[in-house]
Chain A
Amino acid sequence: MIAEIFIVALLFLLAGFIIPLVVRSDRRILRTISYGCTIFASAFLTTLSLPVLIGSGTIMFPAYAPAGLFSIGFIIDRLAAFFLLLIAVVSFCVALYSLEYSEHTNGGVRRNLLCAGTNLFVLAMVLVVAAADTFSFFLFWELMAAASFILVMYEYDRPSTPRAGIFYFVMTHLSALFVMLGILLLWFESGSFALEHLAGTPSLLATCAFVCLFCGFAIKSGIIPFHKWLPYAHPASPSPISALMSAVMLKVAVYGLLRFILDVFSPELWWGVLILVFGTASAVLGVIYALKEHDLKAMLAYSSIENIGIIFMGIGLYVVMETSGLPVLATIALLGALFHSLNHALFKSLLFLTAGSVIHATHTRDIEHMGGLIHRMPVTGALFCTGSLAIAALPPLNGFASELLIFIAFFTSVTIVDPILKVFLFLCLALFALTSALSAACFVKAFGSVFLGMPRSQESEDAREMPPLMLLGPGILAAACVVLGVFALQVITLAGFAVPLPDLFLVGLLLLMMLVLTYAVLFFTSPRTFRVSETWGCGMHFQEAGAEYTGHGFSEPLDIIFSPLYRTRIRNERQFYDEHNVIFKAGAAEIRLLRVFEEYLYLPVARGFAALTRTIAQFQNGCLDTYILYVFVTVLALLVFLGWSA
């Protein structure tokens, strides 16, 4: 029965992909049907994955093998079911939101491509997660990359989009290349494409396979230093797509890493340390860059890097604990990583969707031009606030629960393992704590700049609340954030795990009671005399938006603390009329943040490749004589080879 539901869900997604492409007409009903397919498929996927997740039954599908070695098969076990659930919930809400969103964007019939692409993208992600062997995994991985690329390029007529698209295309194919290398190495090691467990100490080949797969998944999930595509691709793509990519696609990469670590490899200690180091670096640097960002979507993208870093920390900690013989702590760390994956998917899609609404209303992504939106878009504001509270890991919301699990694993491990590892884990813990604090600061800044104060532009002044459907999708996500936070312990217990997590329901009740009490005390003890007057405005006659505390101002103290990381580049070009540089003609000056990874890592590599390809291109000069010379040299080489090998 469950197998049939899965097939029906796939068919729905396929229909949602095909219908808007075949019937090329700019009618709302087409897009509604297409998104309806996504919604139905998501509902089916949810009903299918929940029983698998709670029980322990695994659904196997007979493999389809068109050509001997290569087969396409599906298997849904608990891990796959978990990620299917994650995909389903987010896709459901994103599709609800998109029903209205796509009608409010320009593009005419091109909007059909958006809903078709969304369905294809969701379909590809579902297939990757359900793939039973490495061959089908890679096949669907490529499909996912292609679908997401089309969606990133959707608004191709905007000036910044092609660059973002090419950046994403190169990075995503680099990721696919590494994944393919890893899978091929595994094939050499085991002789099959099945996801088989390689017992015993990993051989050199298996280790290389792990490193390749790690690089592939790290690029796709935006781990620093492979992260640079995220802050470009997210702002370039439509908000529902950003939500899907950030909340779900990055998790599919996490799923890939987990699948190979849990089911294929027998990891060694240094693998865990490697994952932990990259995770910690991403978490800390991600949030530090997010603090400095004033493009709302780029800030959310950096925040995604930070959260993926936290998830990788959990996975790394799991490997470290598992190899150190501490299975209980390992399970807690792994549960933390998985739970945070789900939570991040929920609150990040919530934030991206609400950010999409805000950007749609204000026509800008710059948070310095927003402000005062809480009065104009109260529901959106409340939803964004819920997402911000969750991502800042405040109790009793879900972000707090999952980060607490990882914290517990860290705290408990410090007392047990050997000294060097202990110091290392302590360092990671300290940086993790810093990350959490900075993340809170970052979202205080975001919420404050976007929603509070006075509007800092005419567009913000004129902003209006979104239609109900664009509130319903994020609303469900916000409710899920609250429910998964308050009932975190119950949910994890229901899944069959015992964790030392406090009952956040009680914590929540306690917090609520304190709030009520504080209000009650203030209400009953405050004097009943009122005085109506204006707030002191620093001696100015009237208040204006320009005089307000800005997002930049808020993050300035942190900017100063981390100034060694925010290196600036100063460009000062001047032209003169005379040769002694006396009579000034024209000039340009610019101070901007140094894009460290781009300028010192990506561009040198790209320039190296460009130089190499230019060198190779010289061989094709269009001259017949040269080509005959090549033939001549080849014949000579063959002769030499013949004489040498005989």
Chain B
Amino acid sequence: MIESAFLAGLIKVLFVGIIITAAYLITARNLMSLVSVYSLQSFTLVIIALLLYLIEGSPVLLAIAAITFASKVLIIPYFIATIQEKIRIKRDIQFHFLSPTSSLLLSMGLMLLVYIALSQVMEGIAERENLFFFGSVLGISLMLMGMMVTFSRKRALTKVLGFLSMENGVLLFGLFVTELPFIIEFLIVIDLIILVLLTTILTVGLDSTLEDYHKRLHRFHLWEDTEEVA
């Protein structure tokens, strides 16, 4: 049996990996590598879930690891990679409100803020359950960073990746803090929504901005509403 302190150490190393992937998601311009990094981030989560299973022995963690691996490491990245081959645009260089550098600086500040806020809320737990505290801090930070990606990028594809990364944050937080069976259900629902969203985007064009996208739906007669005047 492996010692749990060693496992906890390993998890902390993986935390650093998650931070790096999140930072990459914020700054990277190449769409292809964005998808790979997202896949890598999800894979890190899978390993964290497995390590936690080794520490705690709860079979639910295994289930989470399996679902995450299947959906977020394999299916969704494959899905997006397939579309990317079909569209011409390979780079997303348009930013809203925040430049990549300022996003990075802001995300550092964010993590600090979340750390301070949570250490106030979880007074006592922070010292006793060091790992779980860091896990939750990182979960919320990842969620906020994902949100930052969603509003600071212009292409629909990067927005979706931001959203997926946000959901990774929720998963991370759920792994360490909340009750697991509930969170599994929650994740599945969200994953389904994302799949539906992706499929819809797939049908018309992933390379557009969201404002463009609505027009395209009209153009291809996939969306008929009464407001439209021919």
Contacts and interface: CB of A to CB of B under 8 A. Distances in A.
Contact of A646 (B97, B114, B120, B144): B120
| Chain A contact residues, majority secondary structure | helix
Contacts of B113: 636, 639-640, 643
Interface in A359-385: none
A640 B144 contact: no
Given A624-B210, A625-B97, A629-B97, A642 B120 contact: yes
B121 interface: yes
A632 B144 contact: yes
A605 interface: no
Given A625-B152, A632-B151, A643 B118 contact: yes
B18 to A, nearest CB: 19
Interface string B130-155: 00000000001000100110111010
B89 interface: no
Nearest to B95: A625
B227 to A, nearest CB: 15
B123 A628 contact: no
A631 interface: yes
Contacts of B114: 639
A628 B117 contact: no
Nearest to A626: B151
Interface string A542-569: 0000000000000000000000000000
Given A625-B96, A625-B151, A642 B121 contact: yes
Nearest to B162: A628
A628 B120 contact: no
A303 B210 CA distance: 62
B116 A628 contact: no
Contact of A635 (B96, B120, B147): B147
Interface in A602-642: 623-626, 628-629, 631-632, 635-636, 639-640, 642
A639 B136 CA distance: 13
Contacts of A623: 211
B199 to A, nearest CB: 20
Interface residues of B, number: 22
B151 A640 contact: no
Nearest to B117: A643
21 contacts: A624-B210, A625-B96, A625-B97, A625-B150, A625-B151, A625-B152, A625-B154, A632-B144, A632-B148, A632-B151, A635-B147, A636-B113, A639-B113, A642-B117, A642-B120, A643-B117, A643-B119, A643-B121, A644-B120, A646-B120, A646-B123
Given A642-B121, A643-B116, A635 B144 contact: yes
Contacts of A636: 110, 113, 144
B150 A628 contact: yes
B97 A643 contact: no
A477 B120 CA distance: 77
A606 B181 CA distance: 57
Contacts of A639: 113-114, 117, 140
Contacts of B120: 642-644, 646
Contacts of B140: 639
A643 B116 CA distance: 7
Contacts, number: 47
Interface string B201-221: 000000000110000000000
A629 B117 contact: no
A636 B144 CA distance: 9
Given A625-B97, A636-B144, 6 more contacts: A624-B151, A625-B154, A632-B144, A635-B147, A646-B120, A646-B121
A624 B211 CA distance: 8
Most buried by B among A628, A631, A635: A628
Nearest to B110: A636
A643 B113 CA distance: 9
Contacts of B121: 642-643, 646
A642 B115 CA distance: 12
A551 to B, nearest CB: 57
B117 to A, nearest CB: 3
A644 B116 CA distance: 9
Contacts of B148: 632
Given A628-B150, A632-B147, A635-B144, A640 B117 contact: yes
Interface in B152-175: 152, 154
A646 B110 CA distance: 18
Most buried by B among A631, A636, A644: A636
Contacts of B119: 643
A628 B118 contact: no
Contacts of B123: 646
Interface in A38-90: none
Interface string B76-104: 00000000000000000000110000000
Contacts of A635: 144, 147
Contacts of B118: 643
A644 B119 CA distance: 11
A451 B147 CA distance: 78
Contacts of B96: 625
A642 B140 CA distance: 13
Contacts of A624: 151, 210-211
A631 B151 CA distance: 10
Interface in B162-198: none
A411 to B, nearest CB: 72
Contacts of B97: 625, 629
A547 B139 CA distance: 92
In the A-B complex, the 4 residue pairs with the closest CB atoms: A643-B117, A628-B151, A646-B120, A643-B120
B219 to A, nearest CB: 20
A38 to B, nearest CB: 46
A636 B106 CA distance: 12
A628 B163 CA distance: 11
Contacts of A646: 117, 120-121, 123
Contacts of B117: 639-640, 642-643, 646
A150 to B, nearest CB: 32
B43 to A, nearest CB: 27
Contacts of A629: 97, 151
Nearest to B119: A643
A643 B123 CA distance: 11
A172 B156 CA distance: 49
Given A636-B113, A643-B117, A628 B210 contact: no
Nearest to A645: B120
Nearest to B109: A636
A623 B96 CA distance: 11
Nearest to B96: A625
Interface in A78-108: none
